[in-house]
A and B are shown apart, each in its own frame.
Chain A
Amino acid sequence: MSNHAEELALHPGEIAKPNTAWIWKTFWILVIITAAEFAIAFTMTSPGLRTLRNSIFIVMTVLKAFFIVGEFMHLKHEAKSLIWTILIPTALLIWLVVALVTEGSYVGEVLSHMFSS
């Protein structure tokens, strides 16, 4: 799969047959994940399940990102060094999100108690 274009012996001026099965496979995976997200958004509405629901959404989003970046943007088939060059800086964002979301909850808590004591 390193090169999606078939390298068959062609006559000059002849155009190779399209090789699109992998594209439509990725498309259906994306559609099914998106449909599942909607199904969960409308069935898991209980406030007690909020954390679980949001965790499922985040896992599904990362899964979709994997297929878009890996297949459509072809990163899965690039050199290993390029893959890591892209993924390692992006992974730092996870820390940023976790740190600032925690900080946000703390700021909210401090502000809500500021005028009550």
Chain B
Amino acid sequence: MAHSTTLQPNAAPASYVDAPRTGTWDGGNEPFKASYGKLMMWFFLLSDTFTFGAFLTAYGLIRHKHGVFAGQAKDFFFSTAHWPIPEKVFNSFPGLHGMDLPLAFVALMTMILIFSSVTMVLAVEAGHRMDKADVQKWLLWTILFGSMFLSSQAIEWTHFISGEGEGTLMADGTVMHGANLTMNQYGPPLFADLFFFITGFHGTHVLSGVCLLVWCFIATTNGTFEKRGHYEMIEKIGLYWHFVDLVWVFVFTFFYLV
């Protein structure tokens, strides 16, 4: 009767509480053939997709509301009258002052995040094989790349806020350097607002991911997952981590390339 699907309220055996619940209606059935935890992670990520989708859609609307720079890219200048060309805003590299290196730093950040995704999936693969040492190794690499990405973003933000060059003459006659939430030297005020909110929200996700990975590393080292008999927690955190990488792929395209 272990796999019975009929409800028998009076016939529950005395050992029912201790027995594993394997019936269709008492928890033995896995919807979509995925475990509870993985399924809930997928649903959370779906809701997060809508959050970032809303951000990027708002970016699309606001960008199309503003005018496009009409001339050739080489004649481009900063003004609140038109939306900036991303290559002209994000063109510096830490330590190489005054050089025009369009999108070089963001390329590095993208590579760091792709690498972290690879080391994460290697940790998941090692978990499948119950290889504790390999899980630890790849988790550490992932934490390292995640921290590198966060540091790069800190540098990027610092540079964006403090600004570079001569600044831009604003409508009130003052010269603006860098950016804040109400005005910036690069273009319309909303350009900087969207930069802060979209990359900031993504950066917060990376930070949460790094914290979860550190916790995973401690649990792996303590043998928590080995005692449990599986490394599914690494898989669940891995899903989250790949999602963060996925969001960056979209932020990269719509904020930096298009």
Interface residues of A (CB under 8 A from B): 4-5, 15-16, 18-20, 23-24, 26-27, 30-31, 34, 37-38, 41-42, 45, 47, 54, 57-58, 60-61, 64-65, 68-69, 72-73, 78-79, 81-82, 85-86, 89-90, 93, 96-97, 100-105, 107-108, 111-112
Contact = CB atoms under 8 A, between A and B. Distances in A.
Contacts of B57: 93, 96-97, 100-101
Given A23-B122, A58-B253, A112 B67 contact: yes
Contacts of A45: 73
A57 B257 contact: yes
B20 interface: no
B172 to A, nearest CB: 19
A105 B61 CA distance: 7
Contact of B129 (A16, A47, A79): A16
B110 A34 contact: yes
Nearest to B258: A54
A55 B213 CA distance: 36
A65 B110 contact: no
Interface of B: 32-34, 39, 42, 46, 49-50, 53, 56-58, 60-67, 70, 72-73, 87, 102-103, 107, 110-111, 114, 117-118, 120-122, 125-126, 128-131, 134, 238-239, 242-243, 245-246, 249-250, 253, 257-258
A30 B246 contact: no
A73 B34 contact: no
A105 B246 CA distance: 28
A75 B134 CA distance: 24
A82 B42 contact: yes
B64 A61 contact: no
Given A15-B130, A23-B118, A58-B253, A108 B125 contact: no
Given A4-B128, A23-B121, A68-B245, A31 B32 contact: no
B121 A104 contact: no
Nearest to B85: A45
B135 to A, nearest CB: 11
A104 B71 CA distance: 22
6 contacts: A23-B118, A24-B118, A79-B32, A89-B46, A104-B61, A112-B67
Given A97-B56, A97-B60, A27 B125 contact: no
Contacts of B111: 31, 34
Contact of A64 (B50, B72, B120, B249): B249
Given A30-B114, A93-B49, A108-B66, 16 more contacts: A18-B125, A18-B131, A34-B107, A38-B103, A41-B103, A61-B250, A72-B117, A72-B245, A73-B242, A73-B243, A78-B34, A93-B57, A96-B53, A101-B61, A104-B65, A105-B65
